[in-house]
Amino acid sequence: MKAPLKPLGLYIHIPFCKQKCVYCDFYSLPREEGRMDDYVDALCAHLTETAPFAAGHQVDTVYFGGGTPSYLGEKRLVKILKTVLKRYQVARDAEITLEANPDSAGDWKALKVLRKAGFNRISLGMQSACDEELQSIGRVHTMDQVRLAVEAARKAKFDNLSLDLIYGLPRQTIQRWAENLAAAVDLAPEHLSCYGLKVEEGTPLFAQRDEADLPGDEEQADMYLFTVDYLLRHGYRQYEISNFARTGRASRHNLKYWTLGEYAGFGPGAHSDFGGVRYAYEKDLEGYIRGVRDHTPMLSENDRIPDLDRDTEWVMLGLRTVRGLDPKEFERRFRRRFDCFLPFLGQCVQAGYAVEEGGRWHLTPRGFLVSNQIIGGMLDALAEDKRRRAEAAARGDFRVDLP
């Protein structure tokens, strides 16, 4: 009897963009249009040569991220997707997502070509409904272009649309944020991603941070809690710290990251968790093109992580989701009791940061606000449990600490 195929996600990084936003620390390259064709050739070659390693897998999600994938143009995008469909075993109902910016996604005929080729989900970088805010962060589109892009996507028969928004922008008030949310909901997307602005070192915004008049932590927290409540009232359930969806429309690809699913990334800066190995490619466009062509090293990271050592990741990622942590899954997967977390989780319950429902533990919206601290406490509990078990083993006590 044939073994069932394992699910696999593919991430394809498109590093090109029209203009880099002041807050962006992703690997993206403006003014490199002349390298697009060579890059697409390298991507297709890399996808082709990697395909045999995925023979035991069925691809059920494909995600084109960036950069600005829509800036690549429909012909190049179709060429890449055709390579995927030809070389990999792709599920009939696979979720195939294209990230797009409104200024390069307003032509419904081009979107129709993409829809016909197999793309069935668009993630549109709206970010704000206010042109003044968009300009302040270096976005090259307007709110009118957002509306036109949504209209074009619907006309091209895309029925799975996500909008990205950012709160905590320069000079933003909670009233302005509420207006942005309302404008996004009025566009009736199936999914919304709402991220708090992070000022990353090395970005133009980091250099301007003292003069940018950014909302403080408390103001951002108020915006976040308002978001959770407002979107729930309008039919969007939270399923991860920053993500909300109508029933059945959560991002299947992103869920792989939070549930330790397998995914293979392609392109400079892309990360993978495939075949028990976590690896990443150098953030170097020319190095990637050359590496594929000449079969020279391209990796910046390459770590084999045994399944039993993934407990830290399991806790960290699981606590980002509304599903949270299942003690039975932890005990089955890592062969030890979940009890080591209970004293700390009890403290979180008392503080209103966590709840136990249906046998699972998950954070509340207020808990998500301090998730880094909570994850730190959970990892401390895990480290203490490992220390205790190591001491027991040193004493010759090898009893399995499971029910």
Cα–Cα distance for residue pair 298/310, rounded to 1 Å: 25
Cα–Cα distance for residue pair 213/208, rounded to 1 Å: 9
Spatial CA neighbour of 368 closest among 389, 348, 344, 388: 348
Give bridge partners of residue 280 from the DSSP assignment.
271, 301
Residue labelled with tokens 């808990």: 367
pTM over 0.85: yes
Give bridge partners of residue 277 from the DSSP assignment.
274, 304
Cβ 191 vs Cβ 239: under 8 Å: no
Cβ 42 vs Cβ 292: under 8 Å: yes
Averaged over 72-83, what is the pLDDT?
A: 98
Distance of CA 333 to the CA centre of its chain: 24
Q: Based on the number of CB atoms within 10 Å of its own CB, is 117 exposed (0-12), middle (13-18) or buried (19 or more)?
A: middle
pLDDT at 293: 96
Cβ 89 vs Cβ 58: under 8 Å: yes
SS3 4: coil
Cα–Cα distance for residue pair 234/192, rounded to 1 Å: 12
pLDDT at 401: 54
The pLDDT of residue 402 is above 60: no
Cα–Cα distance for residue pair 59/229, rounded to 1 Å: 35
Integer angstrom CA distances of residue 106 from 116, 182, 366: 17, 22, 38
Integer angstrom CA distances of residue 391 from 133, 146, 343, 388: 56, 59, 21, 5
Task: State how beta strands 277-281 and 90-100 pair.
Answer: unpaired
Summarised one tens digit per residue, pLDDT across range 345-400 is 999 999 999 999 999 999 999 999 999 999 999 999 999 988 888 887 777 765 54
Instruction: Give the CB-side neighbour count of residue 115, counting CA atoms within 13 A.
Output: 19
Q: What is the DSSP letter of 35?
A: G
% pLDDT > 70, the chain: 98
Averaged over 308-335, what is the pLDDT?
A: 94
Torsion of CA 36, 40, 42, 45, to 10 degrees: -170
Averaged over 252-273, what is the pLDDT?
A: 97
Q: What is the DSSP letter of 3?
A: P
Summarised one tens digit per residue, pLDDT across range 353-362 is 999 999 999 9
SS3 201: coil
pLDDT at 403: 46
Spatial CA neighbour of 165 closest among 124, 222, 226: 124
pLDDT at 212: 80
Spatial CA neighbour of 39 closest among 78, 2, 76, 85: 76
The pLDDT of residue 26 is above 60: yes
Averaged over 45-62, what is the pLDDT?
A: 97
Summarised one tens digit per residue, pLDDT across range 210-243 is 778 899 999 999 999 999 999 999 999 999 999 9
Residue 210, both tokens: 């003292």
